[in-house]
Homo-oligomer: A and B are copies of this chain.
Amino acid sequence: MKQQKFSVLLLTGLTLLVSACAMNRTSRQTGLLTLQQQGSFLVGGTSLTEPGKFELTNALKPQGQTLHGDHAYVFYQIPPNPRKYPLVFLHGAAESKKTWESTPDGREGFQTIFLRRGFGVYLLDQPRRGEAGKSLVSTTITPTLDEQFWFTQFRIGNYPDYFAGSQFPKDTASLEQFFRQMTPNTGAFDATVVSKACSKLVDRIGGGILITHSQGGGVGWFTAIKNENVKAVVAYEPFSSFVFPAGELPKPIQSTSLFGELKGVEIPLSDFTKLTKIPIIIYYGDNIADQPTTVWNKDHWRAGLEMARLWAATVNKHGGHAQVVHLPEIGIKGNTHFPFSDLNNIQIADLMAKFLKENKLD
């Protein structure tokens, strides 16, 4: 009788315990989200100091005063028992870290998806953007009516038409969110300034995997060259600043892109070689032309994809490990310039997770 009581108690206890553990496992997928820590800070940047002495009675005069700027803003979240390397996310042109948060239709973005999968995540607002707005250079911001251009440039479709099978949500509220998440520079974009701040972040966290988007792609190469603690780079649709060793620059790629011809950037071989030491993967979405066309958005990205392939071949020729994945070629259709927030972003996340696993980076 006494033993029976013990058994019941034991079973109850163990059942509860197992439930608790099951809940903890579930929380890695779609249920509760558990964090060990979260917070934000500014990293990198420089400062100016006006000669002279600050006078309390003349406190609006610049003498003796400072200006700190050109830093990045970082919001980070660390799950319990995080995986080996955290993920560092850098947005593209006209975007902020919002890019990696909720999608335009309110689903979870890569921030939360990878947090659930046990990765520490660091989201940047690059210098002179978003909450890292304090810049050392002046700028004028002029409101510009150009959202239909961006809809088209970013291959949601050829405005007002969505591409057939587009992975962008079709409701107007989502499109409005997408337009509103764009945010201007508070100082000219400068890949050197941005990559310095990114490198400082990597120093601070001791090592990480850099995930870039679009214009951030070039910054990613520069950051990996600056900092050997960048353990891998995942680049979504990089466009500008493909770097080549001196003497190996390919011819500029002509296209009907509204941004003109696409040129590579020459750098010393000793710098380029650093990009051969780490795994790099590049993804491009759908609706990219496979031959020259007057449809300028499809042709813009044809040039980008072509340059990326030349670039990866050059990295690999020098002993590197770069691959370019054109998503439709592996059967993933309809992705825009923002695959990580498209309707199939779980599938896109799975691909990235597979890359990390294959390279023993998870």
Binding site for B on A (CB under 8 A): 2-3, 6-7, 9-10, 13-14, 16-17, 20, 27, 32-42, 45, 48-50, 54, 56, 59-60, 62, 64-69, 71, 73, 75, 80, 96-98, 101-102, 106, 108-109, 112, 125, 129-149, 152-153, 158-160, 176-177, 179-184, 186-187, 258, 296
Which of chain B's residues have a CB closer than 8 A to the CB of A131? 96-98, 125, 130-131, 181, 183
Number of copies of chain A assembled together:
2
B75 touches A101 (CB 8 A): yes
Q: Is the CB of A65 within 8 A of B149?
A: yes
Q: Which residues of B contact A67 (CB under 8 A)?
A: 143-147
User: Which residue of chain B lies nearest to A146 when distances are taken between CB atoms in the complex?
Assistant: B65
Whether A146 contacts B41 in the complex (CB less than 8 A), given A3-B6, A34-B32, A141-B187, comes out as no
Given A45-B180, A48-B145, 6 more A-B residue pairs with CB atoms under 8 Å apart are A13-B17, A33-B35, A34-B35, A54-B159, A67-B146, A135-B184
Cβ-defined contact, B141 with A41, below 8 A = no
Given contacts A17-B13, A17-B16, contact A49 B145 (CB under 8 A): yes
- Find out whether the CB atom of A41 lies under 8 angstroms from the CB atom of B106: yes
Query: Would A145 and B62 be within 8 Å (CB), given that A10-B10, A186-B133 are in contact?
Result: yes
Q: Is the CB of A136 within 8 A of B147?
A: no
- Among A35, A133, A152: residue with most chain B CB under 10 A: A133
Q: Chain B nearest CB: distance from A315 CB in Å?
A: 33
Taking CB as reference atom, which chain B residue is nearest A33? B35
5 contacts between A and B (CB under 8 A): A54-B159, A64-B148, A67-B143, A68-B179, A71-B180
Docked Cα-Cα span, A97 to B132, in Å, equals: 12
The 9 closest A-B pairs by CB, nearest first: A39-B102, A133-B183, A42-B180, A13-B13, A40-B101, A65-B145, A33-B35, A96-B131, A54-B148
List B contacts of A160 (CB < 8 A).
54
Judge whether A65 and B3 touch: CB under 8 Å. no
Residues of B within 8 A of A71 (CB): 180
Residues on B with C-beta less than 8 A from A152 are 56, 59
User: Main secondary structure on chain A at its contact with chain B?
Assistant: mixed
- Inter-chain contact A48/B143, CB cutoff 8 Å: yes
A276 and B138 CA atoms in complex are apart in Å by 44
In Å, the complex CA distance between A140 and B187 comes to 10
A68 to B130, CA, bound (A): 16
Return A219 CB to nearest CB of chain B, in Å. Answer: 18
Nearest-neighbor residue (CB-CB) of A160 within chain B: B54
| B-side contacts of A102, CB under 8 Å | 39-41
The answer, among B6, B33, B37, for a CB contact under 8 Å with A7, is: B6
Chain B residues with CB below 8 A from A182, complex form? 134
Q: Chain B residues near A180: list those with CB within 8 A.
A: 42, 45, 68-69, 71, 134
B139 touches A141 (CB 8 A): yes
Residue of B nearest to A64 (CB): B148
Across the interface, which residues of B come within 8 angstroms of A153, CB to CB? Answer: 59
Which residues of chain B come closer than 8 Å to A179, judged between CB atoms?
Answer: 66, 68
Residues in chain B near residue A139, CB distance under 8 A: 140-141
Complex Cα spacing A112 to B144, Å: 37
Find A98's partner among B10, B73, B135, B186 (CB 8 Å cutoff): B73
CB–CB B138/A140 < 8 A: yes
Question: Which residue of chain B is the closest to A140 with respect to CB atoms?
Answer: B140
Q: Do A146 and B176 touch (CB < 8 A)?
A: no
